[in-house]
Structure 1
Amino acid sequence: MSFYIPDYELEKIIEEDVNPLDLTSQIMKLDRFNARLAYKARHDMVLCCTEEAERICKMLGLDVLSYKRTGTCVTEGEIFFEARGRADNVHLAWKSVLRLFEGYCGMATRTYEFVQLARKQNENINVVTTRKNLAGTKKPTIKAIVAGGAYPHRIGLSETVLIFDEHLEFVNGDEELKKVLNEMKANALEKKIGIEADNFETGIKYIKMGFDYIQLDKCDPKTVEKFVKAAKEINPNVTVVAAGGITIQNIEEYAKTGVEVIVTSSLYFGKAADIKAIIEKID
């Protein structure tokens, strides 16, 4: 995977756990020993952030022996990461790496399961995630959802053009909105211009205005299905996006509607992966 997380962000992960020393290892004089550090999956999962774990271990003076790449599916009982080094340094890396794996392997696995359910109903559907991730976690979060088979909907405000009701507070009616749309298209020729609608009628009105994609917010699956059919009759090239309240419990119902894109925040939040850390004394 082509993905970059800068060293300073990994250093923050270490600093959260070690600031400035591991008092227990210091008092026990664990620097006299060498140790092996390994991580084992306690259930089937999709891996994420093994490359960042390698860099954390190297920052802390360990030699990484082997690891499986982000996006790899591993089975229960499989060891997927191994390192070795001075025992006190192993203890420095132990929980920082484990926290990274638990959170982001859990997110990658959740994403994979969600995407598989969606594509069981519609093999061409796009699953994308919002920018409403936990503050300060954007880069590994995006890596996790890509590892699981989804993509970001909007990494940031500069990436796409999407009008919400909050923007329409500054537009005086439909006639002015048409003028605004024309100006936006003239000033962003390489971009699609989208707008959010929370009901069938409003969405149809926006298609007739000439918007490139319509994001239906919090509409039930029956409304989405009806809208997709009507939208394509008006403009076969319009893209229909469904967002709001879509979870792993109802994704199959939404995927059946014919909608082309599913937007969700639900993949960010859920159970962590269950991973066993192994520390062993070695010669």
Structure 2
Amino acid sequence: MDSPPDLSPLLPAPRLQALAQAWLEEDAPGPDYAALAVGQALCRAQLLCKSPGVLAGLPFAEAVWAATGCTVARRAAEGQPVAPVAVVAEVRGPGAGVLLGERVALNCLGRCSGVATAAARAVRLARAVGWPGTVAGTRKTTPGFRLVEKYGLLVGGAHPHRYGLADAVMLKDNHLLAAGAPLAQVVREARQVAGFALRLEVECGSAAEALEAAGAGADIVMLDNFNPETLQAAAAAVKAAHPGVTVEASGGISEATLPRFLGPHVDVVSMGSLTQAAPALDFSLRVLPGEGDGPC
């Protein structure tokens, strides 16, 4: 397996620092009394992955431990498969700092690696049937953990989709209902606002809506909550009339049903389950006997 690219440059250092600080303040809003039993003696600990999957999230763990005065040396590469019980990193620093960051760092790694593992499985399923399109996530992410989960999607080989509302103009069914105007009119007005820099996507509940949206200027039509057979027919109709429009399938697609939604006229399949339903990988920290560094 080829080594995956290093995606950590995508993570702004100030944002990592701010997230690490917020997570630590949530976990330790007051004194950590157990730290008195450990003190500031230097410690060395191994970071272990205890379940199989794809490793992701080390930059977040590193930011957490950096905030507690510790350093992390990687022993495994992100994006690579890991098997139990693999040592993925070594942590060094004051004993109180190592343990203060432990739970937060493990939570980040478990969640991020779980998303990366789910994403990698979905991409592998798509490629196994010869489908060349894009497997994507959605904005169905855990509050406060969006960057972690979007990064996990990328590490797993999926597309993160929109990070936030400003990344594209997406008109969903409620936008169209709230606008109280014909679909084509709403799409044309949104097209003017989007300008040249933003793509315009419209969520559609029927083939007729998809054709109308594409004809009015949508760059992407999302065929939402279609059954696989109806989806393929609608996608073919859109591509026949508007070959340059991107067709996205979404809504209730799971790993088990994914192959049924793949087809020659579908460009993107977006799956909320990659973030909402991905089980976390199990990580633990094991403090090692000191080697002249102190009682730890």
| Residues 38, 81 of structure 1: 8 Å contact kept | yes
Write the distance in 2 (CA, Å) between the matches of 1:52 and 1:14.
Answer: 12
**Correspondence for 2:221:** 214
Stretch moving more, 206-215 or 246-255: 206-215
Structure 2 partner of 1:70 = 78
Instruction: State the 1:246 CA deviation.
Output: 0.8
| TM-score, structure 2 as length reference | 0.85
Aligned partner of 2:59 among 30, 38, 51 = 51
Say whether 1:164 aligns with 2:172: yes
- 2:191 match: 185
Q: Distance in 1 between matches of 2:73 and 2:217?
A: 56
Is 1:251–2:261 an aligned residue pair? Answer: no
1:224·1:257 contact (CA, 8 Å) conserved in 2? no
What is the CA-CA distance between 1:207 and the residue it aligns to?
A: 3.3
The CA distance in 2 between the partners of 1:199 and 1:181, in whole Å, is 16
1:24-83 per-position Cα deviation (integer Å, ceiling 9, x unaligned): 231x3x227432211122233222221221222222122323343432332332211101
Cα distance change, pair 34–255 in 1 and its aligned pair in 2 (3 A): same
1:20 aligns with 2:30: yes
The corresponding residue for 2:294 is none
Larger CA deviation: 56-65 vs 230-239: 56-65
Match of 1:276 among 264, 267, 284: 284
Counterpart contact for 2:184–2:212, Cα < 8 Å: no
1:7 and 2:32 are equivalent in the alignment: no
Aligned residue identity for 2:78: T
Partner Cα distance (2:91, 2:161) in 1 = 36
1:199-244 per-position Cα deviation (integer Å, ceiling 9, x unaligned): 2333233334443321111001111111222222212212111111
Percent of pairs identical after alignment?
Answer: 25
CA distance in 1, matches of 2:268, 2:186: 25
- The aligned residue for residue 225 of structure 1 is 232
* Counterpart contact for 2:151–2:160, Cα < 8 Å: no
Q: Give the equivalent residue in structure 2 for 1:263.
A: 270
**Equivalents in 2 of 1:155, 1:93: separation in Å?**
27
Distance 1:85 1:24 in 2: 17
Instruction: Tell me the residue number matched to 2:151.
Output: 143
Cα distance in structure 2, aligned partners of 1:167 and 1:19? 40
* Equivalent residue letter for 1:244: G
Distance 1:11 1:191, change over 3 A: closer
3-state SS of the aligned residue for 2:226? coil
Distance 1:132 1:63, change over 3 A: closer
1:172 maps to amino acid:
A
Instruction: Give CA deviations for 1:243-280 in whole Å, capped at 9, x if unaligned.
Output: 11011111111124641111121111231102232112
Please identify, of 55-64 and 140-149, the stretch whose mean Cα deviation from structure 2 is larger: 55-64
Q: Distance in 2 between matches of 1:65 and 1:159?
A: 35
5+ unaligned residues in a row in structure 1: which ranges?
Answer: none
The whole-number CA distance in structure 2 between the counterparts of 1:10 and 1:80 is 20
Structure-1 separation of matches of 2:237 and 2:40: 73
1:196 corresponds to: 203
Q: Paired residue for 1:127? A: 135
Three-state SS of the structure 2 residue aligned to 1:166 is: helix
Distance 2:29 2:190 in 1: 50
Secondary structure of 1:152 counterpart: coil
- With over 3 angstroms needed to count, the CA separation of the structure-2 counterparts of 1:17 and 1:168, relative to structure 1, is closer
Q: CA RMSD in A?
A: 2.2
TM-score by length of 1: 0.88
* Separation in 1, partners of 2:104, 2:213: 49
Q: After TM superposition, which residue ranges in structure 1, 4 or more long, deviate above 6 angstroms?
A: none
Larger mean Cα displacement after TM superposition, 81-90 or 179-188: 179-188
C-alpha contact (below 8 Å) 1:103/1:272 kept by paired residues:
yes
Q: 1:256 to 1:181 in 2, by over 3 A?
A: closer
